[in-house]
Chain A
């Protein structure tokens, strides 16, 4: 080995030692400049090639270039190692306690009241049956709430309604809070010709208050008027509704003759259920009959009040308590809590804002 080669080996050992001991990227850069920079030790060696003889160059050329390549590779390797170590160190120092809680999304915190949710469920079902949703005012006249619905003046049926009245006006006429959603039947007949298929959700009011009665409550009225709609159709619509609403494959319903001034014949409907488990109602099984709605063929006088000839048009109507069917389906024990706005109750019985009832996606989750 020539002295020049021994020198090269020494230089290589020294440079590799410097690379290995460089502690950070700055140090490794200094080593790189010292070795491979313009005036670096390896660069200086390369410059010496020009002055060599061809034979010398044949030996020293590869030797010096080999040194250069090895030093460069060692530099790159060391640099990568140092960068990796730096990243690891940074990551270690950035560690956070991910078990710390995050704030809940407002879309998860908010709640839709069961009444609104159930009205949406009802709209989904009746929409599928081709019904539209109608509405009407809470403050009504005696005409729309009673007279046009065939409640004769002084009839005991009027008394059953426990009506809220307003102070009489200058003409002595006193308005009232509607006791049912049925006035909208008349308003609809006045506004539109048959065929009529509507459901009417809304607030109703009676002077009554206990666990199952509230002075303000919500009713769902239904009205079908055409030239053929009959009791058999009514039974079908109502049983289809109950199945869909309670989300059970079948329900047993009992239609009992009853009386309402605005329908003739009139029926009350009980639904078979199991109430043997405390606080829970199951439909489609059990031995109890629970009254769920009233219905009937629209009374000829009501059709007349709506401007229709009862020998030409016929139809059926029904009414049920929205709060009541909500209580039955979702198990709230006390109607009064519906109107108390207790956030614990709303949180528990309310619905998440994005739970939209649809038939294709299921009415409830």
Chain B
């Protein structure tokens, strides 16, 4: 919402400065977005051309001497066709910034003639599009004075960022009312006197869609002369960014901004028969005033005549019956339109207009008829003509909302004591009608406006409660809290002193949920492994989603911001792989990225998973990447991903010693170089591996890559412990020993099976089994491999004898043979 200072002062008697007004507007909730004080126009002064000679070296240029009021005449080279001796115009001296051409002037030399400034066109001052010649002012315009001041173009323009709840402030009048209520002056808007009409309006109105149109007022003015509107009106419209069209159209725009009352004018000669307000027929079309054709649906409301649709209700008139300079008889419409329908229609058709902006917020129903009267007055004043009586249909009158309001509510919600008298006065100044109890009865039970938290219900002192009638221009005010806001914003939010929130009177306990703690720990654990945390989009290309098991209909956006951001991700991996590739394309081939965030299996809350995932590319391994004098890093592989997965799971609280790894994983991994981490037969806690070449190809990524995902939300919650005491630590006094075994097994035998078999030989004595070598070679035979293990043995009751060791070794060999078919390597 834009307006000028002089326009505001039409409605507000005030001595306040521009700065004070701007500050107050912001502090009462009408946030000032920008102020243009027109300082940029100040350097342009009125100047008179004394002589104008042809440029010695250019046919179209003239050399002027100009009196700028500063003393000696100044020489200026000018190309304007209207440059002539005697012309009075606007002069810019060197050093002046000329907004229309975005140039700061300097002393010029044009074809050998010095030019010490510029005579400007309106376009160069951004006053209009006029550029056929330089500004040509009346001969008596005072030379030497700033042009903008003389032409009243220095009216500061204020733009406020209006919140959608304040239709009343879509008008200069409404803004003035708020400022007056806030003590910045007196509201002085002249009342609108009804116009005496000459005979009934010959055009009748039928409302066939009363749910969409709660009122319609119309009047014919015969015999108008339509031309340019007066300068003052044009200047105000230009100042707020509107283009003057003609007096009739300008009047509707002026009243829209002056009073928040959108209007429409029809050229009566082009309207066939009476008007009907109805729903549009499906597929019906109308050519709008913006020269675009719109196809309508029955959800939209239109004003039609015998020829068809003449106007899209509350949004835009039709080109066919629009007013131009030939209009002699004009129909002025002032109507009420359903906000929701107006908003929806505007959105569907993609039309943003000042009318729609107001109707969708809700215009003052009580000003429908006065708005018509005001417009009629302006039309007859500016264009002449004879008005008919008004045709008013459908309007049932306005019944004000009554809010039962205890003044103590102000203190309850804001914490400040605003005296009841002041609250009453603020509301009254804003146009609310306050009735009911006048004085506080000191003897009344409950005492003063004190809170009674213990009772659970806030006691309202007798005599404190009043009935507040809401003015017709404030559809946003519904209840007590709204009235508190009105009192608070006018009384001043700055007057509320901060008060500490009651302390919880204890040392803080743990405030994070288990899932939050696990998420956080997994994140730090992965970062400690040299990985960088990425945050990638939750939505990914459909193709990527499908490759990773997603792409279902329920997770497709109907209106994605880009085609490749269409599907909620089923996995963190496609986004991370794409990110790794982006880095590689920038020249950073070795990257390790992770993310701990949501993935989506469906559209229900419980189908949003909490996943930690990561990828390593190139040689970005735990202990370093790239070449090094002490040994180059090898390309990443499945075991790097496995280590990351286990680290994340361990940090997330998974019982790592109980986890099993099965060969193979989802289809996007390399089938022979991937694994699935399980807890028991059913609970999958993660997957890891190198990627399937077809997946990489489909994602258009390349390079040595591995990745993992672990499902943090699937890690079972550990049982609440009755004590923080750690289990008793028994340290054996006997020396721990290690024994090595090498087994030859079938190539298909998994190391995990073999180590489990060895460990099971004696669960008490064997504290660890570690694979220290895996070997394949011709000497072992086709399809065979050797797995060498180191078994850690911790005697607990006595030192073991040679016989004990032999028995244990024999048991280990027997177990391994039984489980794997392997035998000791000879």
Interface residues of A (CB under 8 A from B): 100-101, 103-104, 106-107, 109-113, 115-116, 120, 123, 126-133, 135-139, 153-157, 159-160, 164-169, 174-175, 177, 203, 205, 207-209, 215-216, 224, 227-233, 235-237, 239, 255-259, 264-268, 297, 299-300, 310-312, 314, 338-344, 346-347, 350, 352-354, 356
Interface centre among A137, A203, A229, A347 (most CB of B within 10 A): A137
B630 to chain A: which residues have CB within 8 Å? 100, 103
In the complex, the answer to whether A139 meets B531 with C-beta atoms within 8 Å is no
Number of interface residues of B (CB under 8 A): 103
Question: Could you name 20 residue pairs across A and B whose Cβ atoms are closer than 8 Å?
Answer: A115-B535, A116-B523, A129-B501, A132-B512, A133-B516, A138-B538, A157-B165, A167-B553, A227-B451, A227-B456, A231-B496, A235-B497, A255-B493, A255-B494, A256-B31, A300-B480, A314-B413, A341-B532, A342-B586, A346-B533
> Which A-chain residue is minimally distant from B489 (CB atoms)?
A257
> Which B-chain residue is minimally distant from A119 (CB atoms)?
B520
The CA of A239 and the CA of B498, in the complex, are separated in Å by 8
Nearest-neighbour CB distance to chain A for B557, whole angstroms, equals 5
The CA of A58 and the CA of B756, in the complex, are separated in Å by 80
> Which A-chain residue is minimally distant from B605 (CB atoms)?
A137
The CA of A264 and the CA of B623, in the complex, are separated in Å by 56
In the complex, the answer to whether B593 meets A341 with C-beta atoms within 8 Å is yes
- 1/0 contact string of B170-214 vs chain A (CB within 8 Å): 000000000000000000000000000000000000000000000
In the complex, the answer to whether A112 meets B456 with C-beta atoms within 8 Å is no
In the complex, the answer to whether A266 meets B485 with C-beta atoms within 8 Å is yes
Given known A-B contacts A207-B561, A233-B415, A256-B31, A112 and B527 have beta carbons under 8 A apart: yes
Given known A-B contacts A231-B413, A233-B501, A127 and B508 have beta carbons under 8 A apart: yes
In the complex, the answer to whether B343 meets A164 with C-beta atoms within 8 Å is no
> Which A-chain residue is minimally distant from B452 (CB atoms)?
A227
In the complex, the answer to whether A267 meets B527 with C-beta atoms within 8 Å is no
In the complex, the answer to whether B496 meets A232 with C-beta atoms within 8 Å is yes
In the complex, the answer to whether B598 meets A203 with C-beta atoms within 8 Å is yes
The CA of A227 and the CA of B450, in the complex, are separated in Å by 13
Please give me the 3 A-B residue pairs with the lowest Cβ-Cβ distance, nearest first: A232-B415, A257-B29, A106-B530
Nearest-neighbour CB distance to chain A for B344, whole angstroms, equals 6
> Which B-chain residue is minimally distant from A173 (CB atoms)?
B603
In the complex, the answer to whether B527 meets A111 with C-beta atoms within 8 Å is yes
> Which A-chain residue is minimally distant from B633 (CB atoms)?
A103
Given known A-B contacts A112-B524, A353-B524, A230 and B415 have beta carbons under 8 A apart: yes
- Interface presence of B360 (CB below 8 A): yes
Given known A-B contacts A106-B528, A154-B340, A236 and B499 have beta carbons under 8 A apart: yes
In the complex, the answer to whether B538 meets A203 with C-beta atoms within 8 Å is yes
Determine which of B412, B501, B586, B596 lies in contact with A237 in the assembled complex, contact meaning CB atoms within 8 Å: B501
B166 to chain A: which residues have CB within 8 Å? 259
The CA of A299 and the CA of B605, in the complex, are separated in Å by 25
- The number of inter-chain residue pairs (CB within 8 angstroms) is 273
In the complex, the answer to whether B501 meets A229 with C-beta atoms within 8 Å is yes
Given known A-B contacts A112-B523, A167-B558, A341-B534, A265 and B481 have beta carbons under 8 A apart: yes
Nearest-neighbour CB distance to chain A for B382, whole angstroms, equals 33
In the complex, the answer to whether B536 meets A341 with C-beta atoms within 8 Å is yes
In the complex, the answer to whether A110 meets B501 with C-beta atoms within 8 Å is no
Interface residues of B (CB under 8 A from A): 26-29, 31, 163-166, 339-340, 343-344, 347, 360-361, 412-416, 451, 453, 456-458, 476, 479-482, 484-485, 488-489, 493-494, 496-504, 508, 511-513, 515-516, 520, 523-524, 526-539, 553-561, 565, 568, 576, 579, 582-583, 586, 588, 591-593, 596-598, 600, 603-605, 608, 622-624, 628-630
B583 to chain A: which residues have CB within 8 Å? 341-343
The CA of A228 and the CA of B502, in the complex, are separated in Å by 10
In the complex, the answer to whether A138 meets B598 with C-beta atoms within 8 Å is yes
B536 to chain A: which residues have CB within 8 Å? 339, 341
B537 to chain A: which residues have CB within 8 Å? 215-216, 339
Given known A-B contacts A131-B511, A167-B553, A232-B416, A257 and B603 have beta carbons under 8 A apart: no
Nearest-neighbour CB distance to chain B for A176, whole angstroms, equals 9
> Which B-chain residue is minimally distant from A344 (CB atoms)?
B588
In the complex, the answer to whether B556 meets A167 with C-beta atoms within 8 Å is yes
The CA of A256 and the CA of B489, in the complex, are separated in Å by 8
Nearest-neighbour CB distance to chain A for B530, whole angstroms, equals 3
B164 to chain A: which residues have CB within 8 Å? 155-157, 160, 259
In the complex, the answer to whether B457 meets A312 with C-beta atoms within 8 Å is yes
B513 to chain A: which residues have CB within 8 Å? 133, 135
Nearest-neighbour CB distance to chain A for B542, whole angstroms, equals 12
A120 to chain B: which residues have CB within 8 Å? 520
In the complex, the answer to whether B535 meets A339 with C-beta atoms within 8 Å is yes
The CA of A340 and the CA of B586, in the complex, are separated in Å by 12
The CA of A229 and the CA of B500, in the complex, are separated in Å by 10
A131 to chain B: which residues have CB within 8 Å? 511
The CA of A168 and the CA of B554, in the complex, are separated in Å by 8
In the complex, the answer to whether B586 meets A231 with C-beta atoms within 8 Å is no
The CA of A233 and the CA of B499, in the complex, are separated in Å by 5
In the complex, the answer to whether A137 meets B608 with C-beta atoms within 8 Å is yes
In the complex, the answer to whether A139 meets B568 with C-beta atoms within 8 Å is yes
A135 to chain B: which residues have CB within 8 Å? 513, 515-516
Nearest-neighbour CB distance to chain B for A145, whole angstroms, equals 13
In the complex, the answer to whether B485 meets A264 with C-beta atoms within 8 Å is yes
Nearest-neighbour CB distance to chain B for A226, whole angstroms, equals 8
B528 to chain A: which residues have CB within 8 Å? 106-107, 110, 353-354
In the complex, the answer to whether B600 meets A111 with C-beta atoms within 8 Å is no
In the complex, the answer to whether B603 meets A130 with C-beta atoms within 8 Å is no
B622 to chain A: which residues have CB within 8 Å? 106
In the complex, the answer to whether B415 meets A231 with C-beta atoms within 8 Å is yes
A165 to chain B: which residues have CB within 8 Å? 557-559
A354 to chain B: which residues have CB within 8 Å? 524, 528
In the complex, the answer to whether A111 meets B485 with C-beta atoms within 8 Å is no
> Which A-chain residue is minimally distant from B411 (CB atoms)?
A230
The CA of A64 and the CA of B235, in the complex, are separated in Å by 131
In the complex, the answer to whether A139 meets B603 with C-beta atoms within 8 Å is yes
Given known A-B contacts A103-B623, A256-B26, A341-B579, A156 and B360 have beta carbons under 8 A apart: yes
B523 to chain A: which residues have CB within 8 Å? 112, 116
In the complex, the answer to whether A156 meets B343 with C-beta atoms within 8 Å is yes
B516 to chain A: which residues have CB within 8 Å? 133, 135
The CA of A352 and the CA of B582, in the complex, are separated in Å by 23
The CA of A267 and the CA of B593, in the complex, are separated in Å by 40
Nearest-neighbour CB distance to chain B for A148, whole angstroms, equals 15
Nearest-neighbour CB distance to chain A for B526, whole angstroms, equals 7
> Which A-chain residue is minimally distant from B26 (CB atoms)?
A256
> Which A-chain residue is minimally distant from B485 (CB atoms)?
A265
In the complex, the answer to whether A346 meets B534 with C-beta atoms within 8 Å is yes
In the complex, the answer to whether A130 meets B503 with C-beta atoms within 8 Å is yes
> Which B-chain residue is minimally distant from A120 (CB atoms)?
B520
A115 to chain B: which residues have CB within 8 Å? 535
B343 to chain A: which residues have CB within 8 Å? 154-156, 159
B347 to chain A: which residues have CB within 8 Å? 159
In the complex, the answer to whether B555 meets A166 with C-beta atoms within 8 Å is yes
In the complex, the answer to whether B565 meets A215 with C-beta atoms within 8 Å is yes
Apart from A155-B164, A166-B603, A237-B501, 5 more pairs, CB < 8 Å: A138-B608, A160-B164, A167-B556, A167-B558, A339-B535
B597 to chain A: which residues have CB within 8 Å? 203
Interface centre among A123, A167, A237, A356 (most CB of B within 10 A): A167
In the complex, the answer to whether A109 meets B344 with C-beta atoms within 8 Å is no
In the complex, the answer to whether A232 meets B499 with C-beta atoms within 8 Å is yes
Nearest-neighbour CB distance to chain B for A271, whole angstroms, equals 14
In the complex, the answer to whether A353 meets B31 with C-beta atoms within 8 Å is no
Given known A-B contacts A164-B559, A353-B528, A264 and B481 have beta carbons under 8 A apart: yes
The CA of A138 and the CA of B610, in the complex, are separated in Å by 12
Nearest-neighbour CB distance to chain A for B588, whole angstroms, equals 5
In the complex, the answer to whether A133 meets B512 with C-beta atoms within 8 Å is yes
In the complex, the answer to whether B624 meets A350 with C-beta atoms within 8 Å is no
A257 to chain B: which residues have CB within 8 Å? 27-29, 485, 488-489, 493
In the complex, the answer to whether A228 meets B497 with C-beta atoms within 8 Å is no
Given known A-B contacts A166-B558, A216-B538, A230-B413, A113 and B533 have beta carbons under 8 A apart: yes
The CA of A92 and the CA of B638, in the complex, are separated in Å by 44
In the complex, the answer to whether B479 meets A300 with C-beta atoms within 8 Å is yes
